[in-house]
Amino acid sequence: MSLLVVGSVAFDALESPYGKVERTIGGAATYFAVAASFFAPVSLVAVVGDDFTKKDEEVFRGRHIDTAGLERAAGKSFFWAGRYSENLNERVTLATELNVFADFKPKLPEKYRTSKYVFLANIAPDLQHDVLKQVQGKPKLAALDTMNYWIERTPAELRETLKHVDILMINDSETRQLSNEHNLLRAARHIFKLGPKTLVVKRGEYGAMMVDSKGVFCVPAFPLEEPHDPTGAGDSFAGGFMGYLAGAGTVSDATLRRAMVFGSVLGSFTVEKFGLDRLRTLKRTEIHARARHFAKLTQFQL
């Protein structure tokens, strides 16, 4: 089943203790689409500027990613710069330039309108809502990611958009910021009142936690000896998670739990190298081998 995503397609400048890149392709929708396309066909909605070349667009080629909804506008592409601390756990945003996203009015290609799985990746909440409204009927599953930038600047729009999604998938500090609750279970209860019935909290090296009416499910992060760059790990997690569900075609407790593992698998590959470098060469066989490794990692008897 096809999976629709709207979110940023960007150029990033990245700094971590392992190195520095001045300009590389990034963006939440980019990481998401590449990660999800290992499991299901992806329909991409975003805008890029005239600085985004045909060569840059090759990141989407040879994969199951439809770019009919990738608009080109005069001006510069979204730009984001970030720097990571020594232990890679903290990051400061050095620059966020919306550029062509500031005036973007997405118009979904006709063939995207029947999408049953929708992911509203990190971008302005009113844009996310606009895309969701253009989907015919109620999708089988709609999930949303956001970040401090939007929680602080557009709280009313975010609250409105949240009313229409099934899953909120954000990191731990954003969960606390949005709910004003430090404890993640209390935060989940707060978030359920805003609309979503399921909360997935991405916790970096501590893995991920899913909370819904059935209870709590946790997966670890894959232990890596040499992580290099966490940029896009959250979006790759979301891509693995939603891609797996769209590929499975059913949303049940069992498929949601497996989706958590495939999310963690994709996130773990992304941090192994800078930017999209690791996802670009990733093979399906490696994904499945690591998923089996996860099963071993968490197996025990009582």
Tell me which residues touch ligand AMP (CB under 6 A).
8, 10, 12, 26-28, 80, 96, 122-123, 147, 149, 231-235
253-270 vs 233-248: helix axis angle to the nearest 10? 140
**257-260: which pairs have CB atoms within 8 A and are 24 or more residues apart?**
257/210, 257/217, 260/200, 260/208, 260/210, 260/217, 260/219
Cβ proximity to ligand AMP, 13 vs 194, nearer residue: 13
Shortest distance, CB of residue 250 to ligand AMP, whole angstroms? 27
Shortest distance, CB of residue 202 to ligand AMP, whole angstroms? 8
Cβ proximity to ligand AMP, 1 vs 96, nearer residue: 96
Q: How are beta strands 78-84 and 91-97 bridged, if at all?
A: antiparallel
The 8-class DSSP code of residue 209 comes to: E
Q: Is the dihedral angle over the CA atoms 16, 20, 26, 32 positive or is it negative?
A: negative
| Residue number of the CB atom closest to ligand AMP | 26
Cβ proximity to ligand AMP, 24 vs 255, nearer residue: 24
Shortest distance, CB of residue 214 to ligand AMP, whole angstroms? 27
Query: Are the C-beta atoms of residues 139 and 6 closer than 8 Å to each other?
Result: no
Shortest distance, CB of residue 236 to ligand AMP, whole angstroms? 7
Cβ proximity to ligand AMP, 12 vs 130, nearer residue: 12
Shortest distance, CB of residue 62 to ligand AMP, whole angstroms? 21
Shortest distance, CB of residue 141 to ligand AMP, whole angstroms? 20
Cβ proximity to ligand AMP, 148 vs 255, nearer residue: 148
Query: Are the C-beta atoms of residues 288 and 39 closer than 8 Å to each other?
Result: no
Pull the structure tokens for residue 162. 């949240």
How many residues are given for the chain? 302
Cβ proximity to ligand AMP, 8 vs 264, nearer residue: 8
